[in-house]
């Protein structure tokens, strides 16, 4: 351990901040021991290339270690991609609504352009319908993930 610690100091390796947790391992006992065992280390030069870099603790599922991810660019620069949700297919009004939205689009011009505009129109209607039918899923997901993190902290 001393040699490894000496190596880290001699190379001046940096440990970026850890988001979402203060430790990455626990013995999962009634009186737990919690330690920060897992981390990314990088050079100052690398840190200058990625100044916003940070580590994020992910959800622990089966191990006694929390997985971590290194995010070199935590900013979102582009719109998120469209995602089709399988739960929509289970909703009783989905198929009928989708059929109406698809057929209800009116456009003119080149067929490829009309098709793309139709997709954009249906996407907008789907997003609106999703919020009305299922609520704000991102907030529900964050709440569930927070609950899991709290259970982990209690554990």
Q: How far apart are CA 10 and CA 19, in angstroms?
A: 26
Please write the tens of the pLDDT for every residue from 94-137: 999 999 999 998 888 888 888 989 999 999 999 999 989 988 87
Band of residue 148 on the pLDDT scale cut at 50, 70, 90: confident
**Which residues, including other chains, have CB under 8 Å from residue 69's CB and lie 6 or more apart?**
55, 56, 58
The DSSP letter of residue 47 is H
Please write the tens of the pLDDT for every residue from 28-85: 888 889 898 899 999 989 888 888 888 988 888 788 888 999 888 766 667 778 888 8
């Amino acid at each position: 351990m001393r040699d490894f610690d000496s190596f880290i100091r001699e190379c001046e390796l940096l440990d970026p901040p850890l988001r979402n947790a203060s430790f990455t391992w626990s013995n999962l006992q009634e009186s737990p021991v919690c330690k920060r065992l897992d981390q990314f280390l990088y050079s100052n030069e690398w840190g200058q290339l990625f100044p916003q870099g940070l580590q994020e603790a992910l959800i622990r599922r089966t191990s006694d270690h929390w997985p971590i991810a290194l995010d070199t660019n935590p900013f979102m620069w582009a719109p998120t991609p469209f995602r089709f949700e399988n739960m929509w297919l289970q909703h009783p009004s989905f198929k009928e609504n989708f059929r109406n939205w698809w057929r209800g689009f009116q456009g003119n011009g080149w067929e490829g352009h009309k098709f793309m505009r139709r997709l954009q129109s249906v996407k907008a209607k789907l997003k609106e319908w999703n919020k009305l039918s299922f609520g704000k899923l991102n907030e529900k997901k964050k709440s569930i993930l927070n609950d899991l993190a709290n259970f982990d902290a209690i554990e």
